[in-house]
Structure 1
């Protein structure tokens, strides 16, 4: 593992923890890889992975009713349930708009917890955190935005996404594929897009610009960023994953460095 400094983070006025991994091992880190910081919405892919494990076990089904009337588990996972960012007053019929929703992921957590017979936090600890050796991770907060983790643990999770062992590859592929193309929606902090592409718990870059990922990254790049200045992305074309933690509120400083940082990561460490 290489200890490095990324040029893109020069002048960033906050902590900038960065890690990069291939499918087998961590290849580079900047800063303390074991410092646990808030993930904010980077919690969502971890929650989604626990849901997908429950799907694989036959404990829940993507097409079963969940959330507001007419919504399914799939609608909650791909932000098309109609629930708002926060609250329980629906804003659209299920499947008609991409409304990014913390409320939807919290409803997802409650539904799946009831189906598996334990709180989602307990299910995640047993079925995701322990098997992946994510020793610095705390999943006792909101499924939408309440977890904490370290760079080392996020890279362990990224390796699972690159080479899944907890779910079948086909289910991983479904999670990282566009669910309902052509739906308009907002990426918080970046604006509204006519085709706001998402998979199941993962945002897909698509053709969105401006964006937190570099314009040079492929449309299929999957990941998430969080309101506490965090990100996780998976670039299967380069066979790598990367994570960033800062522990401070997302700001223009993050918007300034993230596109160049994500481009630098892929240029330096992506598969050739």
Structure 2
């Protein structure tokens, strides 16, 4: 991957990356170096919630959160719950409010029903089966995980071809929920509309967008405020993981979009 050379020009203390294509994994940097994920945590936590759905802990349309809200609303940031506090900020289904607090409501419910802390549930349901030995949820289900490129590459392989949940379940996670909602993508402003799946952000027609200008509209993934991101394009067998240890800011907005466009061009060459 010639595009990896671009990573060496980034103004970050450490960077590691992988690109997955056609069953192969190409890597750059120390893939076993641990990084704080921040909101990339939401992908891991949400996959755990999808497993919980298949285990019968709850269903997508189980009432949860504010009056009128469901598991589906919480997973797709449509419940009206505020960003960082479990308080109601908008009516259910009125606005896409990017909410870590909503993730924690889901995690607390799974913990109660499974009779174990959610970090243990995620370890048993996701990390152990995939051999993600250096991943840990230490805090909020919205932003409190730590992992490595090696481990997230295993997760990327899982979402390319699910083994822990039914393909139909993951397809629903990659389908826009409540498609007319507007909302703000942190760092990228108001998006009208602001498509989101079940825990997985969907690129749609957002512009600007951290994945760049050329990745398809159905690209799913997430970025984190610790300078991290993961994207996958359903049906193509292609995904990318990049982890750094410099907080998201102007440098990332300048670097990520052209890098992702470069990766996509190389994969399509």
TM class, shorter-length = over 0.9
Secondary structure class of the residue paired with 1:6: helix
Residue by residue, what CA displacement relative to the aligned partner does 1:48-85 show, whole Å, maximum 9, x if unpaired?
A: 11111111111211111112222111111000110111
Secondary structure class of the residue paired with 2:231: strand
CA distance in 2, matches of 1:197, 1:260: 22
The size of the alignment, in residue pairs, is: 268
Q: 1:133 to 1:182 in 2, by over 3 A?
A: same
Secondary structure class of the residue paired with 2:129: coil
Partner of 2:121: 123
* 1:22 counterpart = 2:13: no
Deviates more, 1:207-216 or 1:83-92: 83-92
Match of 1:250 among 240, 248, 252: 248
Deviates more, 1:62-71 or 1:188-197: 62-71
1:58-73 equivalences under 5 Å are: 58-73=56-71
Superposed displacement of residue 16, structure 1: 2.2
1:107-118 equivalences under 5 Å are: 107-118=105-116
CA distance in 1, matches of 2:159, 2:23: 11
CA distance in 2, matches of 1:200, 1:8: 32
Superposed displacement of residue 260, structure 1: 1.2
CA distance in 2, matches of 1:185, 1:125: 32
1:147-166 equivalences under 5 Å are: 147-166=145-164
Deviates more, 1:173-182 or 1:57-66: 57-66
Secondary structure class of the residue paired with 2:136: coil
Partner of 1:139: 137
Match of 1:102 among 97, 100, 103: 100
Q: 1:257 to 1:263 in 2, by over 3 A?
A: same
Q: 1:264 to 1:238 in 2, by over 3 A?
A: farther
Partner of 2:233: 235
Superposed displacement of residue 86, structure 1: 1.3
Q: Contact 1:5–1:30 at 8 Å: present in 2 too? A: no
Partner of 2:11: 13
Partner of 2:78: 80
Q: Contact 1:234–1:241 at 8 Å: present in 2 too? A: yes
Superposed displacement of residue 137, structure 1: 0.4
Q: 1:56 to 1:70 in 2, by over 3 A?
A: same
Secondary structure class of the residue paired with 1:41: helix
Q: Contact 1:6–1:264 at 8 Å: present in 2 too? A: no
Q: Contact 2:160–2:235 at 8 Å: present in 1 too? A: no
Superposed displacement of residue 10, structure 1: 4.6
Secondary structure class of the residue paired with 1:87: coil
Deviates more, 1:15-24 or 1:191-200: 15-24
CA distance in 2, matches of 1:264, 1:87: 38
Partner of 1:267: 265
1:175-194 equivalences under 5 Å are: 175-194=173-192
Residue by residue, what CA displacement relative to the aligned partner does 1:109-128 show, whole Å, maximum 9, x if unpaired?
A: 11121122211111110010
Residue by residue, what CA displacement relative to the aligned partner does 1:102-161 show, whole Å, maximum 9, x if unpaired?
A: 111111111121122211111110010000010110112210000000001111001100
Partner of 2:198: 200
